[in-house]
A and B are shown apart, each in its own frame.
Chain A
Amino acid sequence: MSAITRAEVAHLARLARLDLAEDELDHYAEQLDVILTSVARVSEVAADDIPPTSHPVPLVNVTRPDEARPGLPRADALAAAPAVEDDRFRVPRILEEEE
């Protein structure tokens, strides 16, 4: 039984914002299936009563004094932008076209 289908890979690609080509879907479906079947071995470990670890050192919130410091100048922030308009990042339309 395969761990993942081609249709699931297409769905993953949509969620991950990857416009995969048809031949890539076939290729990744095969490879992700092999990888997932292998990594699924973690389920063999009896770990019901084991707490999860998300981080190697205990995470604590770190704060600093709220002192004003210079920020990144606007020109520097915009220098690497793919598109700029009126001193702002220009982005494609964010709403679907009206009916």
Chain B
Amino acid sequence: MSTPLERDLIRQSAATLAEAIAEGEVSAREVTQAHLDRIAEVDGDVHAFLHVDAEGALATADAVDASRAAGDALGPLAGVPLALKDILAMKGVPTTCGSKILEGWRPPYDATVVERLRAAGIPILGKTNMDEFAMGSSTEHSAYGPTRNPWDLDRIPGGSGGGSAAAIASFEAPLAIGTDTGGSIRQPAAVTGTVGVKPTYGGVSRYGLVALASSLDQAGPCTRTVMDAALLHAVIGGHDPRDSTSIPDPMPDVVAAAARADVRGMRIGLVRELTGEGYQAGVEQRFREAVEILEHLGAEVVEVSCPHFEYALGAYYLILPSECSSNLARFDGMRYGLRVGDDGNASVEEVMSLTREAGFGPEVKRRIMLGTYALYSGYYDAYYGQAQKVRTLIQRDFEAAFAQCDVLVSPTAPTTAFRIGEKVDDPLAMYLNDVATIPVNMAGNCAMSLPVGLAPEDGLPVGLQVMAPPMADDRLYLVGGALEGALRDRWGHLLIEEVPSL
């Protein structure tokens, strides 16, 4: 006779699975195999994965089972499988960044995040789909075709980390890693009814993370519960001497904060500029209801103003392209990746230009040219220079707001998931999806998105964003844990349990 756990391994939280593995109720191999079976069953429809590494994942699971049999102590997530965004280098496993220019590339080394996952005994199921080089908010800019939202397969799962969010929402994996440069963890979490955290800049090593915009990029956890995010955050976070921007101070105890899940006495600031015009009615409604719950739980809610946030999107779309045009200069077809037009006669510059033209998709080309323009000597002061000053003003807005409040809240994204194809050739409409998430990246703060209900008009998930100062990541988990608990009490289950079956 099988227990409910055995019958439905894929629907459990990572924390529950880890405990069951540690107690010997189920083996790590059985858990990994159940998720590989689920991927085989539904990923044809969802397309969350670009590559599945069944052999590698099962080998890690077997090693965990052997350790347990030998009586070794297991880490808190040992044996719980994970989906890895295809922008992190993993030795010997294809890493494409969603781009044709890296098709078939197998890195000769592991990213620090991957090293830490391996050391924690976490089986890595495979690599997840993404907008090419993380440029996009819908995963439609992947060179390998879009990922679909498990709530409605005609809709986008957000981006750039749509593959990681969709893998979580379709029960293909209980854990995933995303990266967030302007919202690529949080916005996919919002539109798929899952939890996503962008840690403090410098809180998670960028070594082996293929760079989009080095001053903004940060890897973080994607999960179905706040506690699972905290457990994964604790595994991947902390100082790394191989990343010069890694923060050497000890990171806050996010797992203890998720367990405490208490907002009593906290001051929560509602950012006036991140509501109102441009925000869908049902998104606003669910957001306001969640804020009322936080008040009911004992938090004091005040309205705050961050007047320069309205310029954040413009500044971001100057700073990000400038950094990316420089970072992506490395894809020149010389040492790895695609090479086109090398006929023995063409010059190196001709081969580079032909390779990059063939290997990059339209959004990447747009942003590279935008960055090249913004860094032109004649325009530098008016564009890039001015954007850097706006960045200072956004940081000051945050400092002033955090002088009055412990955390800030807003809707994560202005709308619920839109239809595939709706905005793919309208860059400005696409960029607006990140209007509420970008300020955090500009200032280096941390933030979380968690589900707060379905919008009444379309029945699709809505996310609430919690923002905290640098190195106060624990506050995200205090608020997220408390709100998740109250909503679970109200609904009798987590929102993700309402996702239609595939």
Return B279 CB to nearest CB of chain A, in Å: 19
Contacts of B314 in A (CB 8 A): 38-42
State the CA gap A89–B390 with chains docked (Å).
43
B335 — which chain A residues lie within 8 A by C-beta? 77, 80-81, 89
Which stretch, B119-127, B366-374, B408-416, touches the partner chain A? B366-374
Q: Which residues of A contact B109 (CB under 8 A)?
A: 72
In contact, B351 and A39 (Cβ under 8 angstroms)? no
Output the least CB separation between B68 and chain A (Å): 32
CA distance A39 to B481 in the complex (A): 37
Supply 20 further A-B pairs (C-beta < 8 A) apart from A36-B373, A56-B201, A77-B335.
Answer: A12-B369, A12-B373, A16-B368, A18-B368, A19-B357, A32-B366, A32-B373, A41-B314, A43-B382, A47-B390, A51-B392, A52-B385, A54-B388, A56-B202, A56-B216, A80-B337, A83-B339, A92-B342, A92-B351, A95-B347
Known: A52-B391, A80-B336. A41 touches B342 (CB 8 A): no
Is A94 an interface residue, CB under 8 A from the partner? Answer: yes
For the complex formed, measure the closest distance between the CB of B110 and the CB atoms of chain A, giving whole angstroms.
Answer: 12
Q: Is the CB of B342 within 8 A of A83?
A: yes
Sample 22 A-B pairs with CB under 8 A, ordered by A number.
Answer: A12-B369, A16-B369, A18-B357, A18-B360, A18-B365, A19-B350, A35-B370, A35-B427, A40-B383, A41-B314, A43-B386, A45-B308, A45-B389, A45-B390, A47-B389, A50-B389, A56-B470, A57-B470, A77-B335, A80-B337, A82-B338, A93-B348
Q: How far is the CA of A13 from the CA of B370 in the complex (A)?
A: 10
CB of A81, distance to nearest CB on chain B (Å): 6
Q: Is B79 an interface residue (CB 8 A)?
A: no
Q: Knowing A17-B352, A52-B391, say if A32 contacts B245 (CB, 8 Å).
A: no
A52 near B389 (CB under 8 angstroms)? yes
B241 within 8 A of A: yes
Q: What 1/0 flags go to A48-65 for Cβ under 8 Å of B?
A: 001111111101011010
Within 8 A of A (CB), among B285-327: 308, 311, 313-315, 317-318, 325
B282 within 8 A of A: no
Asked if B336 and A94 sit within 8 Å, CB to CB, the answer is no
Which A residues lie within 8 Å of B357 (CB)?
A: 18-21
Any chain A CB within 8 A of the CB of B105? yes
Interchain CB contact under 8 A, A62 and B244: yes
B215 beta carbon closer than 8 Å to chain A? yes
A-B contact count (CB 8 A): 174
Closest residue to A64 on the B side, CB-wise?
A: B241
A36 to B382: give the CA distance in the assembly, Å. 11
With A57-B201, A80-B108 already in contact, the answer to whether A39 and B342 are too (CB < 8 A) is no
CB nearest neighbor in A for B396: A50
- CB-CB under 8 A from A59, the residues of chain B are 244-245
Q: Does A76 contact B (CB under 8 A)?
A: yes
Instruction: Summarize A's interface: helix, strand, loop or mixed.
Output: loop
**Docked complex Cα distance between A62 and B346 (Å):** 41
* Chain A residues with CB below 8 A from B424, complex form: none
A4: chain B residues at CB < 8 Å are: 373
With both beta carbons as reference points, the residue of chain A lying nearest to B386 in the complex is identified as: A42
A:1-47 near B, CB below 8 Å: 4, 8-9, 12-21, 24, 28, 31-32, 34-36, 38-45, 47
Whether A79 is near chain B, meaning CB under 8 Å from some CB there, is yes
CB of B369 within 8 A of CB of A13, answer yes
Given known contacts A35-B317, A79-B108, A94-B348, is B372 in contact with A15 (CB within 8 Å)? yes
Contacts of A42 in B (CB 8 A): 311, 314-315, 318, 383, 386-387, 390
- Cα(A72)–Cα(B110), bound, Å: 12
Q: Please report the C-alpha to C-alpha distance between residue A53 and residue B316 in the assembled complex, in whole angstroms.
A: 12
How close is A82's CB to chain B, nearest CB, in angstroms?
Answer: 4
Please tell me if B170 contacts chain A, counting CB pairs below 8 Å.
no
Alpha-carbon gap, A13 to B386, bound state (A): 24
Q: Does B264 contact A (CB under 8 A)?
A: no
The proximity string for B residues 13-57 relative to A, scoring 1 for CB distances below 8 Å and 0 otherwise, is 000000000000000000000000000000000000000000000
Q: Is the CB of A17 within 8 A of B427?
A: no
Q: Which residue among A19, A34, A89, A91 has the maximum number of chain B CB atoms within 10 Å of its CB?
A: A19
With contacts A18-B353, A38-B314, A91-B334 taken as known, whether A53 is within 8 angstroms of B391 at the C-beta atoms is: yes
CB of A66, distance to nearest CB on chain B (Å): 13
Contact of B443 with A56 in the complex, beta carbons under 8 Å: yes
| Given known A-B contacts A18-B356, A39-B314, A91-B348, A57 and B202 have beta carbons under 8 A apart | yes
Closest 10 CB pairs of A and B: A56-B444, A52-B388, A82-B339, A47-B389, A80-B336, A19-B353, A19-B357, A39-B314, A76-B108, A53-B391
Most buried by A among B109, B325, B388, B431: B388
The verdict on A87 contacting chain B, using a C-beta distance below 8 Å, is no
